[in-house]
Amino acid sequence: MIDLTIADDTATVVLNAPAKLNALDEQAIRDLGHAYDEAEAAGVRALVLRGEGRAFCAGRDISQVDPRDDDVIGYLGGLVTPLLQKMSRFPAPTFAVAHGACLGVGLGLLIATDVVYVAESAKIGSPFAALGATLDSGGHALFVERLGAHRTLDLIYTGRLMSGAEAVAAGLFSRVVPDDEVVDATALAATTAARGATAAFLASKQLVARIRDERLGLWVSMDAENTAQAALCDTEDYREGFAAFQEKRTPVFKGR
């Protein structure tokens, strides 16, 4: 169900259960985590996550779940949250293709990815009103931060799903791309990043996470930037970038 390929310093992870819209059961969550571990061990410099078929991911696979003895904490707290943390801390730029249904845990996978290109056909929101359940996998935090409390509760109460264009316009994700172009556009962005100064990209990724999670103000953020910049001075890419600029040539970065 989870496929991993590595080429040109870029990992591609595919959710490959199109018959069930790539819904994730417990084993699929574990397998997805293993794929990220393998990609990290291989030293890739970028990663793409996408789904096969009509949807990115419709969320949790509840086809075999008995609500009378459902271990929600075990699934969400024991499996999903650690996976999303692992994904968000992946030591290279990460990209996702969002198309069709992007719901529940599927939405969480997107939240844990650095850059998300959204197909016009994407459907994003909280469909749980019909299940007697609530939005999970980080959805509340994302929606409240970007949409505010009123629009968040409107989506939750009504179960209305946003289109890809609407989600991007609201600031949820990176950009909207036509359906027939979104896979190639995301792959190109990842390949371009993999050839770039990925050590510097990782520093920015860590800075963005700190600013978001710790609510750093301007001057504290600036101090953190200064520290990160000083550390990058010791990297090969930093020296290569300066040399290439001075010699008026294209830099060749190695990610170190």
Contact 136, 105 (CB under 8 A): yes
d(CA 68, CA 71): 9
Within 10 A of 31 (CB to CB), how many other CB atoms are there? 17
Beta-strand relationship, 175-177 and 115-119: parallel
The dihedral sign for the CA sequence 42, 234, 210, 111: negative
The dihedral sign for the CA sequence 164, 111, 198, 43: negative
Q: Which of 68, 52, 70, 69 is nearest to 60 (CA)?
A: 70
Q: What is the pLDDT of residues 77-122, one digit of tens each?
A: 889 999 999 999 999 999 999 999 999 899 999 999 999 999 999 9
Q: What is the pTM of this model?
A: 0.92
Q: What is the pLDDT of residues 163-203, one digit of tens each?
A: 999 999 999 999 999 999 999 999 999 999 999 999 999 99
